[in-house]
Amino acid sequence: MNKDLFAGLVAAALADAQIAAFGLRETVIPAWPPVKRAFPADLARRQERAEIFDEEFIDELGAFIELLAARISEGTHVGWEADEGHVRGGYEVIHLEEETPAPHAVREAVTGALSATNAIRLAGELLDS
């Protein structure tokens, strides 16, 4: 792996982190009850400060993704839209609450950058031995 490829992985992780932090602040945090906002607010702050390149952050982000997925599942409602012109007389519609799965992209990008970091470290150790 060369430096340019590694820099690209880090840059992608940082860009995804900024997008996810914006989504957390604008969409997710306001939709959650005040008592449950501390965790996503902390994740947003860490992403904005680029404090994302460690295993602890990935674990916490994974836990948050599970919470978010459960909340989205709870907020997903399937309804029926009647339509005389439709062959079945209507169709199903899915209504979602306005929360974003953007943290998933951050987790993937950070994991990629950390994997590259570990690969570079291990390669150096192997070359030194």
- Give the span between the Cα atoms of 18 and 48, in whole angstroms: 6
Domains identified in the chain, total number: 1
Percent of the chain at pLDDT exceeding 90:
9
Q: Work out the number of other CB atoms within 10 angstroms of the CB of residue 8.
A: 14
Q: 113: domain range?
A: 3-128
CB 103 within 8 A of CB 64: yes
User: What is residue 28's DSSP assignment?
Assistant: I
- Give the span between the Cα atoms of 42 and 45, in whole angstroms: 5
Residue located via tokens 């439709």: 86
pTM: 0.64
38-88 pLDDT tens trace: 999 999 999 899 888 888 888 888 888 788 777 767 666 677 888 888 888
